Structures are given as structure tokens and as C-alpha cells.
Amino acid sequence: MKIVLQRVLSADVSVDEKIIGSIDKGYVLFVGIGKNDTIQTIENMADKIPKLRLFEDENDKINLSLSDVKGELLIISNFTLYADCKKRRPSFTNACPPDLANDLYNHFCDYILKCDGVGKVEKGIFGAYMKVTSVNDGPVNIILEN
């Protein structure tokens, strides 16, 4: 599993010019599921994200978690995180097959909503052409891999 996490002040995702999900302060998660990922992989990553301390405290130190600031999540499926660019045309053979990836992505979204301190989870549509708009905060961008 690979995730690009972006700390944001706000974000939304639209499909066919219609906004289907939006958040205020929190994280946008671009989630790639690999062909070797399992339910355990997904749950381990979901458990970690709300506890990451990536928000400033009263002393402007990055010391607060998503849970601490009551932040929100916008989760976007993104198989292109598994691009192998050794050649000019990327290969995606390390990405999970779509049917299983969809199941694991939905499990990730459902599971992380149940994690301590996560209040709101919005998501895109798996496999759809989406437009994501965000106001990055910092910017703070973190790459997470299992």
C-alpha cells in the first residue's frame, strides 16, 4: 500500500463536474493498493494515519495529530502510485487488480472511519475520472508505504 498524504485547509473531489466529497482542515489521502496488500496491510495503515502528528500546536511545533485537531479525511483511490517508470511508458503491474483493489479501498475507508479521533471521511469513486481541488497547508506532504 502506498499513500500520498497532503495536509490541507480544505479539499473536494468532483466527478462529471459534480462535487461528491469535500472536507475542511485535514488530510487528502491518495491511496494506491498493491498486488500483495491484504486486509491486515490496509488496517495497519489506517490505524497509523490518525495518530501522525502533522499539525502545529500552540507553539507552532508540528506536534498534533488529526485526532487532536478533529481533522477530516478525503480519500482518493490512485493506482498510478504503483507506476513503474523504468521505461517511457509506465507499467502498472504492481498495482492490485481492480476488483480486489476496489474491495480493499472500500475496506480502508470504512475501517479508518472507525479509528479513534476520525470524525469525517469523504471519498472519491473508485475507477472514476476525478478532479481533486485542495488548499494545501504548509505544504505538508508525506509518502507512506507498508
Q: What is the DSSP letter of 38?
A: -
- Closest by Cα among 64, 54, 42, 55 to 114: 42
Cα separation, 76 vs 122, whole angstroms: 9
Q: Among 48, 44, 39, which residue's Cα sits nearest to residue 73?
A: 48
Question: Which is nearest to 121 in space by CA: 18, 29, 9?
Answer: 29
Residue 35's SS3 state is coil
What are the pLDDT tens digits along the chain (146 aa)?
Answer: 999 999 999 999 999 999 999 999 999 999 999 999 999 999 999 999 999 999 999 999 999 999 999 999 999 999 999 999 999 999 999 999 999 999 999 999 999 999 988 989 999 999 999 999 999 999 999 999 98
Residue range(s) defining the domain that contains residue 94? 2-145
Q: Which residues pair with 125 in a beta bridge?
A: none
Burial label, 88 (beta-carbon count in 10 A; 0-12, 13-18, 19+): exposed
Cβ–Cβ < 8 Å for 75, 121? yes
Residue 26 belongs to domain with CATH number: 3.50.80.10
Domain count, the chain: 1
